[in-house]
């Protein structure tokens, strides 16, 4: 009988949180209930003023797999995001949102997918994407023809850049640790939609594995980004002059400067990049003209 060595692999789960008292208990409960038990859960409270820390510590007292850290002040979402990654020790890693939930077999099934597909660096299942009041039953499926497992690097890259499907949500999937560490060894792009840029780079670095079953419940807050994170430096990137132009430039620059992408794949990158510019040309022209007017008014 073959020896099953997968049970010896550690999965690190990073849970950055802020003002999460209404949600974090449910998230921790679903993570602790995973059928794959060799996990560590790294919670980082980003200076919350509510009961987030108290709730996290109570769960840690009952489950030694949970480690809890508290930032002295709010360091920004990206820094907290990177904090939990830096403390991960596992062979695999995943980020967990404090308002999301996972079916018990989420980690186990995605690990099996990566173990049987050694050229794939990240895995995600079909998921439930509830938007309270608006779309309570929305399902994003990777079943059948919607699977991305067999797609080429360039096909997934094109989908990511052209916003053809939820490729950026794979950032919430299960990663091979060495792949995600490489991705974040460079500073995150200082633009809006930085995670989409990161995932575009990932698409040309590694293959994406998708599982057909709905194993993930990705909550979507109906409140606007500005109302939720108006003081966070990351969110201010949405409101600077020429924000979308900066995003487009950073997207191509990130790919062309990546030390992890072979040159032949880099040569493909400008095609879908030009495609999204053409597809969204009206929006780009509109927001650029608007910002030029803002600059004119500031200098007038």
- 32 closest CA partner among 69, 63, 72, 68: 63
Query: Could you confirm whether domain 7-223 is CATH 3.90.550.10?
Result: yes
Q: Residue 280: its pLDDT value, please?
A: 93
Q: What is the dihedral of CA 146, 255, 12, 170, to 10 degrees?
A: -20
CA distance 199 to 205: 10
Residues of the chain with pLDDT under 70: 1-7, 131-137, 221-238, 300
- Distance between CA atoms of residues 294 and 54, nearest Å: 46
Nearest to 14 by CA among 124, 96, 102, 73: 96
The answer to whether 21 touches 55, Cβ cutoff 8 Å, is yes
Q: Where are the domains of the chain?
A: 7-223, 228-299
pTM above 0.85, yes or no: yes
Are 128 and 214 within 8 A, CB to CB? yes
Interval 171-213: pLDDT, tens: 999 999 999 999 999 999 999 899 999 999 999 999 999 999 9
pLDDT at 231: 61
Cβ proximity of 162 and 216 under 8 Å: no
Q: What is the dihedral of CA 197, 256, 277, 122, to 10 degrees?
A: -30
Q: Are 216 and 102 in contact (CB under 8 A)?
A: yes
Residue 109 · residue 215 · CB < 8 Å: yes
Distance of CA 108 to the CA centre of its chain: 19
pLDDT for res 1: 36
Structure tokens at 128: 């439930």
pLDDT at 133: 52
Q: What is the pLDDT of residues 256-272, one digit of tens each?
A: 999 999 999 999 999 99
Q: Judge whether 84 and 180 are in contact, CB under 8 Å.
A: no
């Amino acid at each position: 009988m073959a020896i099953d060595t997968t049970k010896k692999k550690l999965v690190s789960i990073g849970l950055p949180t802020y003002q999460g008292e209404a949600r974090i208990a449910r998230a921790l409960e679903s993570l602790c209930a995973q059928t794959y038990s060799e996990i560590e859960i790294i919670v980082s409270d980003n200076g919350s003023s509510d009961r987030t820390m108290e709730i996290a510590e109570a769960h840690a007292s009952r489950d030694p797999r949970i480690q809890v850290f508290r930032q002295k002040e709010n360091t920004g979402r990206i820094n907290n995001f990177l904090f939990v990654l830096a403390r991960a020790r596992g062979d695999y890693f995943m980020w967990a949102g404090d308002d999301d939930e996972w079916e018990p077999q989420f980690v186990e099934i995605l690990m099996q997918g990566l173990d049987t597909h050694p050229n794939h660096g990240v895995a995600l299942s079909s998921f439930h994407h509830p938007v309270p009041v608006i779309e309570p039953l929305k399902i994003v499926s990777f079943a059948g023809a919607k699977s991305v497992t067999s797609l080429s690097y360039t096909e997934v890259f094109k989908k990511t850049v052209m916003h053809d499907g939820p490729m950026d949500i794979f950032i919430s999937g299960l990663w091979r640790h060495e792949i995600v560490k490489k991705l974040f060894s460079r500073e995150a792009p200082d633009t809006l939609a930085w995670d989409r840029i990161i995932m575009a780079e990932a698409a040309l670095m590694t293959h994406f594995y998708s599982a057909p079953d709905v194993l993930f419940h990705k909550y979507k807050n109906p409140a606007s980004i500005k109302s939720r994170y108006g003081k966070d430096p990351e969110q201010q990137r949405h409101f600077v002059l020429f924000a979308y132009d900066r995003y487009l430039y950073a997207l191509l620059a990130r790919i062309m400067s990546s030390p992890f992408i072979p040159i032949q794949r880099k040569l493909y990158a400008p095609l879908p990049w030009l495609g999204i510019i053409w597809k969204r040309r009206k929006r780009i022209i509109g927001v650029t003209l608007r910002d030029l007017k803002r600059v004119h008014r500031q200098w007038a």
